[in-house]
Chain A
Amino acid sequence: MIIFYSKQTGEIVGTIDGRIHTEEQLNMWIGDKNETERVIINWKPKRFLDENDNEITEAKFKQLRGKKKGIRAVWEPEHENPLLIKDLETHKVNLGKFKIIKGKFEKKSKEEIDNKKKSMETLQKSQEDRATLVIDIKAKIKDKDISVEERLDAVATLLDMTSR
């Protein structure tokens, strides 16, 4: 996995997924090269297992590979926090929850994460609320079932929504 982050803030801006990268992928870049930096997380085969999940040596693995079913290598990320990298790989963890400071991952504060989520939710909710209200008012006007007072109430509600 290759992770790109802002040089200025450490915020992760994107990833190129995968454990082994081709030359083409290593030539790729996310964002402006003057503004983003990258961390390449290498994965290496760390353990070798036989068909019964018993650990075997690398030499034995090379000897049996392709000749016997169930022989396999277990790959691990070469990083101080392998569990985090595994979670990132499977997207169990939202990239936005982390930033990179001087090459190290740092978990964002709950406040930062909540603020990010809240800003998006507010944007979507206010759009949905406005759309629903407009449809409701239009339906009432069509049925001539709305008084001036109700129209003023609706405007006040809209103003309240947009000032949030």
Chain B
Amino acid sequence: MKLVIAKPSFDALTEVDPDNLQFSSEYDTLKYQTKGTITLTINQANYYYSEHIDFPDMWLYYHYAYITVDHNLGYIPFFTGYTLDNPIGYASVAPFFEGSFIGFILANIYADTTKLYFMVNFVSGQNSGNVSFDFSYRIFKNELDII
């Protein structure tokens, strides 16, 4: 028993080319579960490491933080994540990385059987003030099934 919806002018009873079908239960599909947004705010006073460099003569401060979404599915789901406004005005598929000779930003999303983790690791010349990173996420019912 199967369910097939063919594109206009094709016969669902006989058509086998997937390009001519709108839906076929013979192929697995992603089952959407949840979407949402996350804002991760980092207080730069809470840096985990600092170092002085000679060229240019300055202090560098290393920052790391994460926030979680508890999905509680009991397995690692298929998920997607995006960083918003980074660069400003753009959406990037996570992981997002940008680096130069004395600075970098890494924004990543990863998952285990209970949570999605939104993390940011970056270095800046600042040890005060807040910096916020916005993410968007999608979780599907499908099990990722790769590890």
User: Does any Cβ of B come within 8 Å of A59's Cβ?
Assistant: no
Cross-chain contact A24 with B72 (CB below 8 angstroms)? yes
- Whether B85 and A159, one on each chain, are in contact in the complex, defined by CB atoms closer than 8 angstroms, is no
Q: Are A127 and B103 in contact (CB under 8 A)?
A: yes
Q: How far is the CA of A15 from the CA of B137 in the complex (A)?
A: 10
Given A28-B71, A124-B86, A130-B103, are A162 and B125 neighbors across the interface (CB < 8 Å)? yes
Instruction: Tell me whether A13 and B67 are in contact in the complex, defined as CB-CB below 8 angstroms, given that A131-B100, A159-B58 are known contacts.
Output: yes
Contacts of B70 in A (CB 8 A): 27-30
Task: Establish whether residues B86 and A155, one from each chain, have CB atoms under 8 Å apart when the complex forms.
Answer: no
Asked if A116 is at the interface of the complex by the 8 Å CB criterion, the answer is yes
| B57 contacts chain A at the CB level, 8 A cutoff | yes
In the complex, A102→B79 CA distance in Å? 33
Q: Which of B34, B41, B56, B129 contacts A159 (CB 8 A)?
A: B56
Of all chain A residues, which has the CB nearest B44?
Answer: A119
Give the size of the chain B interface in residues (CB under 8 angstroms): 41
Which residue of A has the minimal Cβ distance to B60?
A: A162
By the criterion CB–CB under 8 Å, are B129 and A158 in contact? no
A119:B129 contact, CB within 8 angstroms: yes
User: With A24-B73, A134-B100, A155-B55 in contact, do A16 and B88 touch (Cβ < 8 Å)?
Assistant: no
Q: A14-B67, A121-B88, A155-B55 are in contact. Are A95 and B103 (CB under 8 A)?
A: no
User: Measuring CB to CB, which residues of chain B are less than 8 angstroms from any residue of chain A?
Assistant: 33-41, 55-58, 67-73, 85-88, 98-103, 105, 122, 124-126, 129-134
Can you show 12 pairs from A to B with CB atoms below 8 A apart?
A: A11-B41, A17-B37, A27-B72, A30-B38, A120-B88, A123-B105, A123-B122, A124-B87, A127-B98, A127-B99, A130-B100, A131-B100
